Structure formats: C-alpha cells, structure tokens
C-alpha cells in the first residue's frame, strides 16, 4: 500500500491538515498509520466526510465533557467483552487488537453543543477537534432568551434530534433532593430571592423543552438520575411537559430506568431516560402502534440489554472491573496524565461515603461527580481492610481511583484526555466532576444505535 503525508491529503481534500489528523486519530481513515509520531494516509483513501452525507443533525444540551455526544456519534474503542455479537450481529465493529474493538460511526453528527463549564468545553473541544466552534459556552436560559427576544438564530436549523442530560443534583439521592425547588440558579450559583423559580437548576428541563420547541427535532432524548423517579410525581410532570411541546405535538414514551451494567459498562450506574418523537414527522399508521408498544415491542425505542448477572441465554455476564483496568500502569509509572492524577484524600473510615476499595471481580459503584474523600479506593492498605494482598505485598500503595480509571469505568476511550496543566487547563477536581456527570458513552451508543435502526421505520428514508 502506498502512503502520502497529511499535508498532501489535506490539499487533495481541500481541508486543513488538522482535520486530516483528526480523522486519523478517530480511526476514520482506513489504513492510516502513525510512524515516529507522524500520520501517513493511504494514497487511495477517500475523505470520510463524503461517506457521511446521510447524517442526522444532533443538538446537544448540558453537554458536559461529551459522554452522550461521543456515544451518539460512535467510532470509539471498547473491550471485546463489552460487545455482544449475539444481540447485535449487524454492528460493523472492527478489531483493534486482542483486547479492543472499534465501534462503528453512527449517522448522528453533533452540530451544536452547550454547557456553562469552561473545563468541560476544553475536554470536549479537544476530542471533537473538528467541531471546536460547535460548543457554545453559555447558559441555556440565556441562549433561549437571546433567540426569542432578539430573533437571533442561536440554534441550528434542520435539526433531527436533541439530546441532553439536564442537571441532576437536585434529584439525586446523593444531594438535598430539592427537585423543582432548587436553591441554585441556571448558572450554578445561589438563587436570588427575586429570580423567577422557572430559571432554577431543578427546572432546567423546561429550557430544554424550549429548545425542542424552537428546533422541532424528530426525536429528543433526555436523561437524569434514577432518583428522579421516586421524588414525588417529578417523572410524570416532566413527561407531561415534554408531551405538550407544540400543542401536544410529541409522543413521549414512558420514561425508563436503564442500568449501565446491562450494556457492557462495568458500573452499577442507573439513569432514567426520556424519549419523545414528533407526531407529524412519523410515517402513516406508525403513531397508533407507538402508542401501543405492548403489542408492538419491535418498535420500542429503548435498547435491548446485552449483559446480565443472571443466567439468561444469549446475554453475556457483566464485564468485570479487572478487565476494564487490566493493562493500566500505576500512576508513578504511567505517561498518561489522567492515570497520574488521583485524589490524595486519606481514608476516613468506612462509615463515610467512598471509603471502600472497588471489587475487581465485580462491577464498580456509580462514579460520582465528587472529589477528594468521596472517590473510591483502587486499593486499601491492610490496616484499613484492604483485600488485595498480592498487590500490597508487591509494594503497591493504598490509593484512590485515578482519573483514567474513572474514565474507563465510564467507558470513555483512552484517547479522550481530561486533565490539562496550565492556567486554562483542567484540574483533577474538575476532571472527576465532568467524568462523574457524564452518561457512559457505551450506554449512549446503545440508545443511538437503537434509534438509528428505527429511524427509517418511524420516519422513512
């Protein structure tokens, strides 16, 4: 095979060299190789963008560092054990090595992302390097007001899908559970007494609703913590509010709680997922079937599980944590800044949250948006009840999970970098927070592929 330089291929495709390098890093150019730190591209390679014309335009809200965005776009590495070919034999996965597979690129393409956290934008923009101008660092409340009050087109046109994980702190069992009565504003600061309550953090799903009303996508997907489902009638209120968009223009399926471990993510994380479809975009006779999923299960938009802790034919066992962390070096030996960084908080007693070591033969607890004393231990000392005697006898010290270990547990690939030094970098604290706030990309990928599969059935080609 003959190869040419990135510079030559960029000139041929009439794009920047940076764009071609991005395609190479994302493994979107088949046969591209890296030699001595320099990418070489097969001379006959086709511009990936030409192959991606049939894209579905996605608007991402409350994007954070991009867990849902990465999942909806696909094209990232996972463990072989995280893929179940019996359930998804048609996924065009590619073998990377003996341990890893590359998931296929989906039809979804993020055309707009948004959050108020600068560090999240930094991590997102570095990975989605060809879309750095797509990420809008501003409050969704202010963006909606700007479009409505000034007739400025803040949000893109011709949007196919809107996704968003609206803030969960006010619904989480780990917080004060103030729900719709949150005392935090849409900017994350303490709420002013005279500020309209509709703008508090617990009501930001309403502003996602406003964006859906403005952009009129065919589908929307919203996610939050499981705790929302047992906080009074919060779930039913949110479902009704989403349904009422454009004069009851959306069919909102009953929200469902999904367990990440059921989709190959080695974690006990549970999330409630809301999915809605625009009624007037559906093909004839589809609406009445979608309103009766009990008799039309083949049209169910929620993804089929692939892994379980029960003995069910066709399903794989949960992915063990030791398989996820298997080849990571200790922080002091690693060249990966995200593996070097971890909380140095001391053991505070097992009566406190996060004071346990993870079970390598099981799945991890939920990776929370916390830091210091709440991040679980990779291993504890014998004095503190540690059970990994061989590691301790070999001189490995008591420590908490690193940034990279948390990222892997969440199913982020190793080429997704979080920590960055410098004034405008990303600290260990902020890296823990953004990883803990993310929807696991692999879990999001399952949702995306299910919707991609159903798209022509729901809406036609």
How far apart, in whole angstroms, are the C-alpha atoms of residue 214 and residue 145?
Answer: 11
Burial letters 373-406, b for 16+ CB under 10 A, else e: ebbbbbbbeeebebebeebbeeeeebbbbbbbbb
**Are the CB atoms for 40 and 414 separated by under 8 Å?**
no
Q: Which of 24, 65, 136, 168 is catalytic?
A: 168
| Number of CB atoms found within 10 A of residue 449's CB | 22
Residue 170 token pair: 């006010």
**Are the CB atoms for 337 and 358 separated by under 8 Å?**
no
Give Cα separations from 117 to 3, 192, 265, 306 (angstroms): 41, 20, 26, 34
Residue 266 token pair: 């080695």
Stretch (H or E) spanning 94: strand 94-95
How far apart, in whole angstroms, are the C-alpha atoms of residue 368 and residue 172?
Answer: 11
Sheet holding 33-35, edge to edge: 3-5, 38-42, 33-35
Residue 316 token pair: 């794989």
DSSP letter (8 states) at residue 378: E
Stretch (H or E) spanning 42: strand 38-42
Give Cα separations from 287 to 253, 276, 280, 326, 458 (angstroms): 11, 12, 9, 47, 9
Residue carrying the six token digits 């890893």: 100
Give Cα separations from 252 to 273, 286, 382 (angstroms): 11, 14, 52
| Number of CB atoms found within 10 A of residue 308's CB | 15
How far apart, in whole angstroms, are the C-alpha atoms of residue 209 and residue 330?
Answer: 45
Active site residue 168: yes
Burial letters 47-83, b for 16+ CB under 10 A, else e: bbeeeeeebbbbbbbbbbbbbbbbbbbbbbbbbbbbb
Q: State the pairing for strand pair 316-317/307-308.
A: parallel
How far apart, in whole angstroms, are the C-alpha atoms of residue 203 and residue 141?
Answer: 10
Backbone angles phi, psi at 236, to 5 degrees: -65, -35
- List, by residue number, the catalytic residues: 168
């Amino acid at each position: 095979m003959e190869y040419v330089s990135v510079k030559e291929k960029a000139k041929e495709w009439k794009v920047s060299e940076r764009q071609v390098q991005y395609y190479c890093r994302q493994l979107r150019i088949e046969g591209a190789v890296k030699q001595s730190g320099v990418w070489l591209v097969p001379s006959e390679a086709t511009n990936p963008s030409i192959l991606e014309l049939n894209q579905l335009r996605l608007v991402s809200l409350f994007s954070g560092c991009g867990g849902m965005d990465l999942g909806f776009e696909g094209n990232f590495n996972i463990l072989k054990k995280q893929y179940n070919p019996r359930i998804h034999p048609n996924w065009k996965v590619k073998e990377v090595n003996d341990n890893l597979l590359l998931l296929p690129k989906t039809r979804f393409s993020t055309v707009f992302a948004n959050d108020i956290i600068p560090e999240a934008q930094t991590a997102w923009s570095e990975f989605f390097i060809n879309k750095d101008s797509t990420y809008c660092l501003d409050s969704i409340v202010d963006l909606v007001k700007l479009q409505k009050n000034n007739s400025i087109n803040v949000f893109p046109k011709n949007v196919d899908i809107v996704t968003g994980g609206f803030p969960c702190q006010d619904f989480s069992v780990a917080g004060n559970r103030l729900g719709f009565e949150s005392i935090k504003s849409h900017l994350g600061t303490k709420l002013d007494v005279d500020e309209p309550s509709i703008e508090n953090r617990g009501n930001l799903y309403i502003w996602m609703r406003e964006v859906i009303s403005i952009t009129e996508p065919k589908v929307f997907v919203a996610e939050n913590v499981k705790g929302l489902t047992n906080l009074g009638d919060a779930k039913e209120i949110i479902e009704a509010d989403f349904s009422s968009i454009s004069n009851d223009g959306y069919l909102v399926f009953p929200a469902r709680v999904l367990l990440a471990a059921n989709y190959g993510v080695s974690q006990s994380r549970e999330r409630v997922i809301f999915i809605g479809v625009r009624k007037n975009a559906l093909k004839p006779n589809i609406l009445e079937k979608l309103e009766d999923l009990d008799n039309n299960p083949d049209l169910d938009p929620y993804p089929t599980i692939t892994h379980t802790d029960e003995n069910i034919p066709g399903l794989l066992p949960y992915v063990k944590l030791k398989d996820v962390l298997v080849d990571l070096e200790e922080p002091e030996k690693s060249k990966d800044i995200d593996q070097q960084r971890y909380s140095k908080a001391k053991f505070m007693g097992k009566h406190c949250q996060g004071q346990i070591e993870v079970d390598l033969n099981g799945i991890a607890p939920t990776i929370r948006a916390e830091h210091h004393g709440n991040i679980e231990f990779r291993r504890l000392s014998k004095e503190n009840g540690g059970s990994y005697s061989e590691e301790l006898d070999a001189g490995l010290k008591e420590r908490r999970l690193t940034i990279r270990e948390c990222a892997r547990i969440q199913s982020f690939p190793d080429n997704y970098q979080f920590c960055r030094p410098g004034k405008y970098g990303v600290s260990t604290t902020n890296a823990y927070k953004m990883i803990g706030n993310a929807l696991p990309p692999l879990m999001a990928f399952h949702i995306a592929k299910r919707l991609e599969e159903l798209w022509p059935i729901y809406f036609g080609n």
